[in-house]
Structure 1
Amino acid sequence: MSQITQGIRSILSVPAIYSLFGQLLDKKKGGGNTALVKEYIRPKANDQLLDIGCGTGNILDYLPENVEYTGFDANHQYIEAAQKRYGHRATFICERINTAHLGKYSQFDLVFVDGVLHHLDDREALQLFKIAYAALKNGGRLITMDGVFVENQSSVARWLISKDRGQNVRTQEGYLELASQVFSNINTDIRHDLLRIPYTHFILECSKQ
């Protein structure tokens, strides 16, 4: 995993600051996590959702109570914070998910990967797509969201994305090339309106047939 965790970026390793930062950036009305859940994740009652790289679990504030949620993250501080806040309605595992887990944690309706791919090199990202595919039921969907470089994007957005902790921000073609090695049914979207600040997100919705 390639990311910068020194200097000012290191403060995002503190769970309270990580959560607060996300809340401050989130556009509550018509954007942010509200739009992500409503337009892309689209959970149904009793869906089983796997969140890979769940952080402090803040997406749970936007999910229906009847979604069965399992979150994986390798940062023990994030997981401890998530368990304190959401442990009554979700399962959290402090590990970096791999195929060894799939016997116990598999057959999900939804797999969600938010802001992870741009921290991974191509080999690691391809492995993540394979893990997601194995974890899904037939007909299940993987949703990913990451910063992206696109033509004619805001210069501010491009600069902010270039300063991200993750060092593998790709073009939309770069993300799609990796996903298409595993999934054959893929929808994509580019959003410039999900945060309070200029930023460009690339969203993949990959279905397992």
Structure 2
Amino acid sequence: MQLNLDPRKVLSHPIVYTTYQKIVGGYRARKLFVENNVKIKPGQKILDIGCGPGDILEFLPDVDYTGIDLDENYIAQAKKKYGQKGHFKCAGVDGLDLKNNNTFDIVISAGVLHHLTDEQCFNLFKIAVKALKPNGRFISFDGCYIPNQNKISEYFLKKDRGQYVRNQAEYERLSKTYFNSVKSTIDESYFYIPYTSIIMDCKNN
């Protein structure tokens, strides 16, 4: 009997996803992402677009945290595990309406852009711009194609659940549509496995 098991469907289960992330270094990557890139201070207000099961809260200080995600199972798990640390809402980037604009110090989107079409990315950026305070920062973290890429890294990116993995120039082109200051960094050290990431730090001066 042939067993047809699609790992991308299996990973949609929040507990399986969290376990997989721990194995490949996703927890380590989140920790380094928070420490090296987000650099949020206690008491600041943060919006996490595509928060998944909310595991990034393991590495954040005491902040005013709001997480949104399209997956009901992820949000249910986030509320169960981190309900005392943040606010969670099941919503996608298409048609999301924030009640209060210009109130967040930082908007993050970790592992999301490579799941979105260009138009959906624009919707996400619109939300981020509306959400951010003046001089607030939008910070993203995604898989990225680069020249002469490690073959294992390239393999993992091609097998990723996200169907829109881009190169550095393409990610920057999209973000510069809504932000006039975009700084991107390529990193291959955050995970335990070979994996190429792009971190973008964006704002409007």
TM range (shorter): over 0.9
Q: Is 2:192 the counterpart of 1:193?
A: no
Cα 1:82–1:105 shift into 2, 3 Å: farther
Q: Is 2:36 the counterpart of 1:19?
A: no
* Letter of the structure 1 residue corresponding to residue 123 of structure 2: Q
**TM-score, normalising length: structure 2:** 0.93
Segments of structure 1 that go 5 or more residues without pairing to the other structure are 1-5
Q: Is 2:93 the counterpart of 1:94?
A: no
Does the residue aligned with 2:11 lie in a helix, a strand or coil? helix
Determine the structure 2 residue equivalent to 1:129: 125
Cα 1:193–1:114 shift into 2, 3 Å: same
Contact 1:52 1:73 in 2 (8 A): yes
Identity of aligned residues (%): 37
Cα distance in 2 between the residues matched to 1:168 and 1:27: 20
For residue 37 of structure 2, the aligned residue among 5, 19, 40 is: 40
Cα 1:95–1:27 shift into 2, 3 Å: closer
What pairs up with 1:48-197 in 2 under 5 angstroms?
A: 48-64=45-61, 66-97=62-93, 101-104=97-100, 106-197=102-193
Cα distance in 2 between the residues matched to 1:41 and 1:179: 17
Contact 1:147 1:201 in 2 (8 A): yes
Count of residues in correspondence between the two structures: 201
Aligned-residue CA RMSD in angstroms? Answer: 1.6
**Post-superposition CA distance 1:93-130 (Å, at most 9, x none):** 01114565222365100001011111111111112111
**Post-superposition CA distance 1:33-80 (Å, at most 9, x none):** 22101111000121100000100000000001x211100011111001
Contact 1:136 1:208 in 2 (8 A): no
Q: Is 2:8 the counterpart of 1:9?
A: yes
Cα 1:54–1:105 shift into 2, 3 Å: farther
Segments of structure 2 that go 5 or more residues without pairing to the other structure are none
**TM-score, normalising length: structure 1:** 0.91
Does the residue aligned with 1:36 lie in a helix, a strand or coil? helix
Cα 1:124–1:197 shift into 2, 3 Å: same
Cα distance in 2 between the residues matched to 1:52 and 1:74: 9
